[in-house]
Copies of this chain bind each other. A is one copy, B any other.
Amino acid sequence: MATVPLLSDDEASPEARAVFDDIRAKRGTDYVNNFWRAMAHDPATLKAVWDRLQTVMAPGALDPLVKELIYVAVSTANGCDYCIHSHTAAARAKGMTPEMHAELIAVIGMAAQTNALVTAMKVEVDEVFKA
C-alpha cells in the first residue's frame, strides 16, 4: 500500500494523463508502471522527472545498458526495492545477460565491502588520486 494513491487513467489529471500517454508512445507499450501512477498525484513533478529521465538515460558517451547497470547499482546501495526490481527488468530488456547480471552483483558486493573497510579504517585519500 503506497502513501499516495496510484492513479488510473481516469483519475489522473489531464497533465498527468499526457505524461502517461507519452510514456506509452516512447516505450511502445500500453503498460504504465506504478511509479508513474504514484507520481501522478503531483503532475508537475511527474512531468519533470519523466522528461529528465529520458535525457539522462539516452544514448550518449555511455550506452543505455551501462546506464541501467549504474542505476541498479545505486538503487541497491540505497536499498530501494522497487527500483532494484524495475531497473533490473529494464536492464534485461536492454540486453543484460545472466552473466552480465552476475558480474554486476559481484562488483556491487565487492564495492560495498571495500567501502565499509575503508570507512572503518578512516583511510586518508592519497595525493595521487586528487591530481
State whether the Cβ of A69 lies closer than 8 Å to any Cβ in chain B.
yes
Q: Are B33 and A121 in contact (CB under 8 A)?
A: no
Query: Residues of A within 8 Å of B, CB-based: how many?
Result: 82
**Residues B61 and A55 in contact, CB atoms below 8 Å apart:** no
| A118 within 8 Å of B (CB atoms) | yes
Is A115 a contact partner of B112 (Cβ separation < 8 A)? yes
Q: Which residues of B contact A120 (CB under 8 A)?
A: 3, 72, 76, 84, 104-105, 108-109
Asked if B66 contacts A110 (CB within 8 A), the reply is: no
Not counting A35-B123, A38-B123, A81-B125, a sample of 14 additional A-B residue pairs whose C-beta atoms are within 8 angstroms of each other reads: A49-B114, A57-B107, A70-B104, A70-B111, A74-B112, A74-B116, A76-B120, A77-B116, A78-B115, A82-B119, A89-B128, A108-B116, A110-B113, A112-B116
A residues within 8 Å of B by Cβ?
Answer: 1-4, 6, 31, 33-35, 38-39, 41-42, 44-45, 48-49, 52-53, 55-57, 60-62, 66-67, 69-89, 97-126, 128-131
